[in-house]
Structure 1
Amino acid sequence: MIMRQQFRVLSLLAFVWILTWANRCFADDGYKLWLNYPKINDRALAASYTQQLRQIYFTDGMGKANVARKELLLGVAGMLQFTPQIVKPESAGLLVGTYQKLPAGVTKSLATVGNDEGYVIKTITANNRKQVVIAGKTEKGVLYGVFNFLRLLQTQQPISALNINEYPKLERRVLNHWDNLNRTVERGYAGASIWNWHKLPGYIDQQYIDYARANASIGINGTVLNNVNANALMLTPEYLVKVKALADVFRPYGIRVYLSVKFSSPIEVGKLKTADPLNIEVRQWWKDKVDEIYKYVPDFGGFLVKANSEGQPGPQAYGRNHADGANMMAAALAPHNGIVMWRAFVYDSNPLNDRAKQAYDEFKPLDGKFADNVIVQVKNGAIDFQPREPFHPLFGAMAKTPLMMEFQITQEYTGFSTHLFYEAPLFKEVLDADTYAAGKGTTVAKVLETKPHAKAVTGIAGVANIGTDRNWCGHPFAQSNWYAFGRMAWNPDQSSAQIANDWLRMTFTNDKSFVQPMVQQMLASRENTVNYMTPLGLHHIMGINTHYGPGPWVDKAERPDWTAVYYHKADSLGIGFDRSSAGSKATAQYAPQVQQKFDNLATCPDSNLLWFHHLSWNYKMRSGKTLWFELVHHYYEGVDSVRRLQTVWNGMQGKVDREQYMAVKQLIAIQMEEAIRWRDACVLYFQTFSKQPIPAGYEKPLHPLSYYRDMQFHFAPGIGGSI
C-alpha cells in the first residue's frame, strides 16, 4: 500500500514536471520577435487565405529569392497549418518573383516601382481567376514584398483587392552596433554582443541568420558590426575573415556589412609613423587596406568614422579638417562603390560657451567640400540622444552635402532596458520638424531624402539595442524600437500609431481589447518618460558615466560639459540654458523662421523652453502656473502616467503569453520605482534653488535629497566610456 502511494505521488510529480516543461517549451520567450507566425484562429479569415494561398507559383531563382520562398512557406505553414502546392502560374492563387521572370500576361498588369528595392503586391484577374502577385525589380525587392505580404496575414488584413506599390525613400538603412571585440556592448542593455568573434568564422550561430531575417523583414539593408570607438585590430586579416563569414550569412537577406574604423589605424596596425590624411604613404595604406577588404567581402558597404571627438584620433591632430580625413578614405573606397559615413558628433575639451554649437561650427564651413561618396552622419539633436532635443541645426544648413540621420535605438538616456519607452514618436517628431532650409515644408525627412548631387547617397542609421538576451533587446517592448526604426527608415511618412498597431499584432495578439489600449500606452510612453526625467526642455541631468538614474547635482567631471549643472544652470534666480540671441546664440544656427520661433518666449514650445531659455522660478507659463509649479506638475504627472500604464498592463493577463506578460509586469514595476526616484530626486534638488514648496495635493517624496545623492549603482550595464 505504501509503495503504491509513493508511486502515485511520484507519478503526479512527474506529470507536473512534464506539464511545466511543456508549458515552458511552448511559451513565448520573445526570441521570435515580430516574426512569430502563430495559427490564425479566425476560421472564416483562415479559409479565405487558404483558398488564395493553397497553390503558389515561384519564378526560378537563388539567393534572396530562395530566402523569400522559404520565409513565405514558413509563414503560411505557421499561420494556416498547411504547406502550399508549388504549381504553374496559370494554376496559382499567388505568384511570386522578379518582373522579368513572371509571365508576360501578368507583368502587363503591374506598375513598375521606384528603385531596385521596390516591389508591387497586387490582386489581378488572370487565367479566369483572381491572383495575387508579389513582384520586384530584383530578388531583394521580392524579399521585401514577401515580408510585407506576411505582415498583412499576421495583422489579419484582407488580401482580396491589393494594390501596393512600395519602395524605400532612403537608400542606406543601417544599424550601428557599438559592439567591442571582447563582446561588451557600449550603451548596450541586452547582454553581450551577439558576434562571437572567438568562434567565427568556423561557427555560424542561428542567431546571425535570425538577425538577418528580422532586419530584412523591416527593410534594413546594412549593419556596422563594431563600435565607433573602434579597435584597429578590426582591419587585420585575423578579423576580416570573420567579417567575411558574417557578410556571407547576411548577403541573401540583402544586408551589406560596414566597419567602424579608427583613424590612427595606419599607425596601430600599419606601422606607419603618421596618420596624416594628406601623407602619400597613409593614402596608399588605406587604398591597399580597402582593396584587401573587398577581396574578403566583394559587396562591402564602407566605413563609419568617429574622429576628433571624446579623445578619438582624427585629422585635426595634423592640422587637417574633417573633409580632408573623410575624402582620403573615400578615395580608397570609390573604385569599389563603397561609402564613408563620417560622424558629426564632435566636441573638443573646451566647449566654450555652448557645446551644442560645436558640430555646426566645424561642419558648416565644409559644406560642399566632401567627396561624392561621403555622407555626414548627424545625431538627431545637438547634444546626445536626450529624451527630447530640438532637431540638429545641421539638417537645415548643409545644402551641398548629403546628411545621414543617426538615431539611438538603444535606450542610453531613456531607461535602459527597464522602461517601456516607444521611440517612434521621438523619431517622428524629429523627421517631421520643419528646417525651412528651402522654404516652408522642408522637413528633416525631406533633407535626408534630397540628393545634393547625382552621385550622392541617402541614408539613416540607428544605434542598435541588440544583445544575447533571449528576447534580443532586454525589454519585450524595446523590440518595438528596432522594428519602428526599420519601418521609418523605409518610409519616414509612416505614422507611429500604425507601426505600433502592426508590431503589437505581430508580436503578441490581434485581440483588439489588447491592441487598442496598448497602442495608446505606447504612444504616450515617450512623453511619460520626458515628464519624469527631463520636462520642459531640461537635458543631460542623468547620472555621470553610467547615465543611469537622476543626477542633476553632478558638478564635477573631467570636463564641464559632462556635468549636469552645465546644462540646467539652476540658481536662485531660475533655471535653463539661455541659447537665445541674448545668450549663447545657438538659435542663430537655425533658419530665420526657426530661430525666431525658439527665440521668442511667446512661440517657443513649452517642451523646449528650458533648452533655449533661462527663466525665473516665478515665470508665468501658458497654463497659468508658475514655472516652479509647472515643473513639479510634470514630474508628478510622469509618475502618474506609469501608474496608468501599470493598471492597463495588469488588465492584460490572459490576453497574451504568460511568460511575456510576467516579464513586462515585473519591468513596469521596476519602471515605477525608478520614475518615483527620478521625480523625488529632481524636485527636491531643484527646490533647493527655488525655495518654494511642493504644491498641496502632491504626495511627499519618499526620502530626503541626501538619500538620492548618496545612491550608488555598481556595475550598471552599458558602461564603457561616453559615445
Structure 2
Amino acid sequence: MPPPGPPDGTDPAWLPPAAFRAIGSRRTLVRGGGGPLVETVFGEVAGACARFGGSVARGGATADVSSYDLVLDVGGAQGDDESFVLRRDAEGGGPTTVTAASGRGLLYGLFHLVRLGEGVFQGRWEPEVHRPALPLRMLDHWDNVAVHPVMGQVERGYAGGSIFWVDGRARHEPQRVRAYARLLAACGINAVAVNNVNVHETEAHLLTDRIGDVASLAEEFRAYGIRTHLSVSFAAPVLLGGLASADPLDAGVREWWADATAAVYDVIPDFGGYVVKADSEGQPGPFAYGRSHADGANVLAAALEPYGGTVHWRAFVYDHRQDWRDRSTDRARAAYDHFAPLDGEFAPNAVLQVKHGPMDFQVREPVSPVIGAVPRTRLAVELQVTQEYTGQQRHVCWLGPMWSDVLRFRPDGETAVGQLADGLVGVSNVGDGPYWTGHPLAQANLYTFGRLAWDPGADPLRVLDEWVSLTHPDAPDALVSGLHAVLDGSWRTYEKYTAPLGVGFMVQPGHHYGPSVDGYEYSPWGTYHFADRDGVGVDRSAATGTGYAAQYAKVWADVYESAESCPDELVLFFHHLPYGHLLRGGSTVIQHIYDTHFDGVAEVEAAREVWASLRDLVEPGRHARVAELYEEQVRSAREWRDQVNSYFLRKSGVPDARGRRIY
C-alpha cells in the first residue's frame, strides 16, 4: 500500500493520514470475494489501522461480524458495478456495513466512509444505495511526451511538468502515479487519458512501438479501478502504418485500426479506448476525404468494439481562419452545425465529447446547444479543470458553481444536462509541482469535478465542505469559514474583474493570461466582441444576427432572442447593445462594466486579507504559497480593471457615474 503521497513530498491533497482516523481506529472485517480492488481496499484499511491502533481481518462470506465495528462486504463480481449500500443497525451496537457487488463498488464505499468520518459509526443508518449518475467520469491530460516548443510540457498546464512524461520518455515513477490514482478514485473518477489531444509525433508513437509505456501507467491506475485511455491521431494509419490514406471508408485503413487496437489490448486488457481531436485547429480528420465525423468515429469504434472500448470523439470543430469583418460567420454555431445533423449515425461505443459552452471555456458562456440536440448519440460534457481562461492557477477561482449551473441547465426546459449526458470529462489541472495543482486551493476544482461527475445534482457548497474536511481533517471553525469566504464566490469575483456580460476573450493572445481587450479582436480565431463607439457585443439573434440563438429549443431560443429577456450575464454574448442600454438588473451596460470591475478588485483585496488572517491555522508552507499568489491576483485584477474600464471609457465617451478615477 503506497503512502498518501509521492516520496518527494508532493502534497497529498485531500487524503492526508488524519482523514482515515475514524476507520483506522476501528475493528474492521473485509468479508467475501477477492480480486485486485478488494486487495487495494484491504491495504487502505490496514495502513490506516497501523497509524491509529485499529485492526483489520479477512473473512469468508459467512464470517461472524458480531465483534467488528465496520464490515466491508463484497460479492464475487469483478465487473464494472460501481454501486454500494451503506447501513448501520445500531440498536444493539451493530457494525457499520458497506456492501458491494464488486471490488470497484467496495473501493468507492470505502472512500465514502472516509468522507463521513466519525458520524458513520454513530446512530442508526437506514440502508442507503449509492451509485454514480454518470458511467463515464474521466480526466484528459494534455501532456506532451516531449516538450513542445510553444506549449511546453503540458499544454494549458499550470502546475509544472507532466507526472507521466519527461524529456521525451516515460518518467517511470509508479509510486507517484499510484498516489495520483488514489486521489482520483477518492472523488469517483474512473478513467484517464494520459496524453495531449493535440497529438504530436512523439505522442503518436504511444499507440504502437511505445505502448509499453502506456501499459506501465495502466498498471498503476488499475489498482484504483481507473481505465487508461490514449489520445490518437486520426492520421495514424499514414503516420505510423505507412498507408497512403487515412480514409475511414477504406478497407485497408479499417484493417490497420483493427490490428493496431488488437495489439493495444494484448498488453493492456482493460484499456479504455481512444480520444480524438479531428478537423480542428490543424489536426487531421475525415473532412480531408470527404467523409463525416460519424464516419471517422465509427472506424475507431469498430476496432474497439470487440474489447469493450470506447472512442471519445471531440466536437471542438470550427473554422479558425475567419475574417473578422465577416459578421455572418460565427464560431459559436460550428459544433451544432457539424454534429446535430449526424445524430443517430455514431456507433453505440462512440461518445461525442462536447465542450460545456459553444466557444472555449470562457468564464461565462451559455450551455452548448449540441447537448440538447443529439438524443440518439452518446454524449460526454467536457469541462476545463485547468484554469486556462480563469486565472491559470495563479488566481483563486473555484469553478464548482459554474459547473453546477451547467449540469442543472435544462436544454428542453425539462431534463437537466447531468441527466442527458453519459459522462463528464475534465481537462486535468495536475502537474508535478509540490501541490499537484500549482495553486494549493486549485485542488478544490479537481475534487469538485470528480464529485459532480458522480452526482451532477450535488450542491457544490456541500462538495466544497467535503474537500475542506478531507484536506484539513481537524480544521477549527475559523478555518472552515475562512476557506469558504475565499472560495465560495471566487468564480463570480473573477468574472467581475475580467470580461463583462458574457462577451469573453479579452485576454493576451497565445498564453491567455492577463487583459488585452482587443487581443483577439482582429484575429482569425473567431473570438470577437465588436466594440465600437456605439456599443459592444455580438448579435447572435435569428432576426438580425448570426442565428445562433435559434439553435436552442424554443424554450431558450425565445429567451436568448431578445435583449429584454436574455439574462444579463449573457446579454453581450447574444446581442450588440448600446452603452446606455438598461440591463434587467437596473444598470446601463457601461455602468455595469465600471461597477463590476471596481467591485471585483475590492473582493480580491478582501479575500487576500481573509487568507492573511488564517496564518496560524494553515501549514506554513501552504499558507505562504497562497499568500504569494494572492499578491499576484490582486496585481492582475487591478490591471484588468484599469485596462477594461479605460478602454470602454475611450470607446463610449461616457464617464463613471460614481466619479471614480479610471486610468
> TM-score scaled to structure 1, two decimals?
0.84
Structure 2 contact 90–124 (Cα < 8 Å) conserved? no
Q: Distance in 1 between matches of 2:67 and 2:493?
A: 54
1:146 maps to what in 2? Answer: 110
| Unaligned ranges ≥5, structure 1 | 1-24, 41-45, 102-113, 449-457, 702-723
Which residue number corresponds to residue 550 of structure 1? 515
Of the candidates 518, 536, 556, which is equivalent to residue 575 of structure 1? 536
Partner in structure 2 of residue 592 of structure 1: 554
Q: Report how far residue 551 of structure 1 moved.
A: 1.2
Q: 2:332 aligns with which of 346, 356, 367?
A: 356
Residue pair 2:343, 2:374 contacting (<8 A) in 1 also? yes
1:504 aligns with 2:504: no
What is the TM-score of this pair, normalised by structure 2? Answer: 0.91
User: 2:150 corresponds to which residue?
Assistant: none
Larger Rg: 1
Confirm whether residue 660 of structure 1 aligns to residue 641 of structure 2.
no
Which among 259, 267, 270 is matched to residue 238 of structure 2?
267
- Structure 1 residues 29 and 631 mapped into 2: Cα distance closer, same or farther (>3 Å)? farther
How far off its partner does 1:516 sit? 2.4
Residue 275 of structure 2 is aligned to residue 304 of structure 1: yes
Shift of 1:399: 1.2
2:613 maps to 1:648: no
SS of aligned partner of 1:468: coil
Partner of 2:157: 188
The counterpart of 2:297, out of the listed 322, 326, 333, is 326
Aligned partners of 2:652 and 2:362: how far apart in 1?
24
Shift in Å, 1:443: 1.4
Show CA shifts across 1:88-125 (max 9, x none).
53321111131469xxxxxxxxxxxx981011121125
Aligned match for 1:72, one of 45, 49, 58? 45
**2:195 pairs with one of 226, 237, 240:** 226
- 1:217 and 2:186 are equivalent in the alignment: yes
**Cα drift, residue 383 of structure 1:** 0.4
1:515 equivalent to 2:473? Answer no
User: What is the CA-CA distance between 1:464 and the residue it aligns to?
Assistant: 0.2
Tell me what 1:167 maps to: 131
Q: CA deviation at 1:55?
A: 4.7
Measure how far apart 1:446 and its partner are: 1.6
- Going from structure 1 to structure 2, the CA distance change for 1:297 and 1:100 (only over 3 Å counts) comes to closer
Residue 216 of structure 1 aligns to a residue in which SS?
helix
> How much does 1:202 deviate?
9.1
1:38 aligns with 2:2: no
Query: Superposition RMSD on alpha carbons, in Å?
Result: 2.4
> Superposition pairs for residues 261-660 of structure 1, below 5 Å?
261-351=232-322, 353-436=329-412, 440-448=413-421, 458-508=422-472, 509-554=474-519, 559-561=524-526, 566-581=527-542, 582-660=544-622
1:243-258 to structure 2, matched below 5 A, reads: 243-258=214-229
What's the CA shift string for 1:125-183, capped at 9, x where partnerless? Answer: 59x641111111100100010011011128x6664323432100111111000001115
**Is 2:70 aligned against 1:91?**
no
The Cα offsets for residues 365-414 of structure 1, whole Å up to 9 and x where unpaired, read as: 10101111111000000000001111000011111111100000000000
Query: What amino acid maps onto 2:479 in structure 1?
Result: F
Contact persistence 1:31–1:470 (CA under 8 A): yes
Residue 639 of structure 1, CA deviation: 0.7
Q: 1:558 to 1:571 in 2, by over 3 A?
A: closer
Task: Give the residue type in structure 1 aligned to 2:199.
Answer: A
Equivalents in 2 of 1:358, 1:55: separation in Å? 55
1:61-105 Cα offsets, whole Å, 9 max, x none, are 231111111212334554xx213253753321111131469xxxx
Separation of aligned partners in 2, 1:203 and 1:427: 34
Distance 2:80 2:237 in 1: 38
- Report the CA distance between 1:645 and its aligned residue: 0.8
Counterpart residue type for residue 364 of structure 2: R
Report if aligned partners of 1:52, 1:131 keep a CA contact under 8 Å in 2.
no
Does the 8 Å contact 2:23/2:114 carry over to 1? no
**1:544-601 Cα distance to aligned partner (Å, 9 max, x none):** 111111111225766152xxxx521100110111111221110000001101111122
Q: Using the alignment, how far apart are the partners of 1:525 and 1:99 within structure 2?
A: 44
Number of positions where the alignment pairs a residue of Structure 1 with one of Structure 2: 636
Whole-angstrom distance in 1 between the partners of 2:435 and 2:243: 44
Give the Cα separation in 2 of the matches to 1:178 and 1:133.
Answer: 40
Cα deviation code 1:501-558 (max 9, x no counterpart): 1111211343122212422431200000011111211211111111111111225766
Instruction: Report the Cα offset of residue 686 of structure 1.
Output: 1.9
Cα offset, 1:442, TM superposition: 1.3
Q: Is the 8 A contact 2:386 2:427 kept in 1?
A: yes
Instruction: Tell me how far apart the structure 2 counterparts of residues 610 and 556 of structure 1 sit (CA, whole Å).
Output: 15
- Alignment of 1:242 onto 2:213: yes
What code does the residue aligned with 1:643 have? E
1:459 Cα deviation from its structure 2 partner: 1.4
SS class of match (2:165): coil
- How far apart, CA to CA, are the structure 2 residues paired with 1:522 and 1:202? 34
Are the counterparts in 1 of residues 46 and 56 from structure 2 also a CA contact under 8 Å?
no
Q: 1:157 to 1:540 in 2, by over 3 A?
A: farther
Are the equivalent residues in 2 in contact too, given 1:57–1:92 (CA < 8 A)? no
Partner of 1:708: none
- What CA deviation, in whole Å up to 9, does each residue of 1:622-677 have, x standing for no partner? 34332111111011111111012112111112112121111111111110101111
Distance in 1 (CA, whole Å) between partners of 2:254 and 2:610 is: 59
Aligned to 1:696: 658
SS in 2 for 1:462: strand
* 8 Å contact kept, 2:137–2:423: yes
Deviation at 1:196, TM superposition (A): 3.1
Who is 1:21 aligned against? none
- Counterpart of 1:713 in structure 2 is none
Secondary structure class of the residue paired with 1:369? coil
SS at 2:137 equivalent: strand
* Counterpart contact for 1:230–1:261, Cα < 8 Å: yes
Does the 8 A contact of 2:85 with 2:98 survive in 1?
Answer: yes
**Cα distance between partner residues in 2 of 1:134 and 1:652:** 37
Q: Distance in 2 between matches of 1:140 and 1:584?
A: 48
Distance of 1:625 and 1:302 partners within structure 2: 50
Residues 217-257 of structure 1: per-residue CA shift (max 9 Å, x gap):
11111000110011353345431011111111111210111
C-alpha separation in 2, matches of 1:327 and 1:55: 48
C-alpha change, 1:244 and 1:427, in structure 2 (3 Å) is same
Q: Contact 1:52 / 1:93 at 8 angstroms: preserved in 2?
A: no
Contact between 2:208 and 2:260, CA under 8 Å: does it hold in 1? no
* Secondary structure class of the residue paired with 2:528: helix
CA contact (8 A) 2:207 2:232 kept: no
User: What amino acid is the match of 2:300?
Assistant: M
